[in-house]
Structure 1
Amino acid sequence: MPYNCLHNDEALLSAMAADDQQAFTCLYRRYWKELFLTAAKALRDNDAAADIVQDVFLSLWNRRTELQLEGSLAAYLHTSVRYKAIHFIEKNIVRRDYAALLTVLASDYLPASAEERLQLKEAQFIIHETVAKMPPKMQEVYRLSREEHLSHKEISDKMGISAETTKKHIQHALKLIKLALGQTAGSVSLLLISLLLKK
């Protein structure tokens, strides 16, 4: 390990602010793994987790001359990863099945606060009501996909419809759920992150 990497975070940040790329590399190596593990645990997606950590470090480098930390660098980096993970889930809450995952996790990791429990119940109610209002065939396709985890081909074979029809039903069902969640998507994302990181 190069000598510079033995310096504390403050010294490395100071060197980085003066455009020392080696100092940045030291910080990157020091924190990349733990940040990646945090993001991967929250997102259940290694590629997305790696992208998020890369974005956090890119932002750190781009802001190197103006960065004013009130706490530790470790806390700053972990908070940045957490916020980016929440934003990622908010954008992909339905497409990547995070909404369904929330229901599964909640049964094992009941949120501690009354507010979180209320948010969870609200999200579950919205999803349940939206699915219940879907046309029968779309509802069946959605349940087979999300609850029984069947592939598009398995659903097509079981229901006697084409794979393309199956895909369209699922896409439309997901759009309806995302639309119904609307303003609650952010709080659902935050709640999901907190449940996932408890595991």
Structure 2
Amino acid sequence: MAAGDQQAFTHLYRRYWKGLYMAAAKALRDRDAAADIVQDIFLSLWNRRTELQVEGSLAAYLQTSVRYKVIHFIERNIVRHDYVSQLSNIESSAMPPVAEIRLQLKDAQLIIHQTVSRMPPKMQEVYKLSREEHLSHKEIADKMGISSETSKKHIQHAMKLIKLALGQTASTASILAGFLLLKK
């Protein structure tokens, strides 16, 4: 592959794609994002083929690449893909028995709960309908007698408040990364 042999690359792609995709999809619970991540890894592999020096197992290198890409994806998209909301709903018993991560998770859950409780009543209601009852912007708007745009703005503002509150205390991305890596 380093010499530009496309057949060698195709062979590697076919051999490793499914396993890498499954690992990313399991961690993200988003098939499209998982497929994009795996595609990015193989594109990077091909683009850097002449300079890349893999020490040890290629499979291990690719799995590590998936982990780092997943963590980076979560860091970039923590609000947009609602990982903060998912984090607030994870039960402590579902966590691996690692005391530090459990404590960080409890702290994050407490911060989310406190932040939501300090929101104005209408924003709080919109947030809960969106995140707990999984209603769309339109369904929330119809239920509350507001516009879809107002519903969307309330949710965006609520998520910014939560992200800000979490960012001031603990590194949410590191909590999620620890959870994902230990869950394996």
TM-score (norm 1): 0.84
**Paired position in structure 1 for 2:78:** 93
Question: 1:158, CA displacement in angstroms?
Answer: 2.0
Structure index of larger Rg: 1
Deviates more, 1:44-53 or 1:101-110: 101-110
* Structure 1 residue 192, shift from structure 2 partner: 4.2
1:162 pairs with 147, 159, 166, which one? 147
Q: CA shift at 1:17, angstroms?
A: 1.1
Pair 1:186-2:177 in alignment = no
Greater Cα offset, 148-157 or 169-178? 148-157
The 1:124–1:51 alpha-carbon spacing in structure 2 relative to 1, beyond 3 Å, is same
- In the TM superposition, residue 108 of structure 1 has moved relative to its aligned partner by 5.2
Q: How does 1:13-162 map to 2 (within 5 A)?
A: 16-107=1-92, 109-162=94-147
Amino acid at match of 1:170: I
The alpha-carbon deviation at position 175 of structure 1 amounts to 1.3
* Structure 1 letter corresponding to 2:9: F
Whole-Å separation in 2 of the counterparts to 1:122 and 1:71: 39
Preserved contact between residue 95 and residue 179 of structure 2 (Cα < 8 Å)? no
Instruction: For residues 142-184 of structure 1, give each alpha carbon's deviation from its aligned partner in whole angstroms, at most 9, with x where no partner exists.
Output: 0111011122222122222121111110111111112222251
Distance 2:81 2:40 in 1: 20
Q: Give the conservation status (yes or no) of the 8 Å contact 2:141–2:148.
A: yes
| Residue pair 2:84, 2:163 contacting (<8 A) in 1 also | no
Query: Structure 1 stretches of 5 or more lacking a match?
Result: 1-15
Distance 1:167 1:149 in 2: 13
Give the number of aligned pairs: 182
Equivalent residue letter for 2:73: F
Q: Say whether the 8 Å CA contact 1:155–1:166 is kept in structure 2.
A: yes
Aligned residues of 1:120 and 1:191 also touching (Cα < 8 A) = no
Provide the identity percentage.
Answer: 74
Contact 2:88 2:112 in 1 (8 A): no
Q: For residue 69 of structure 1, report the CA deviation from its aligned partner.
A: 2.3
Runs (5+) with no aligned partner, structure 2: none
Q: CA RMSD in A?
A: 1.7
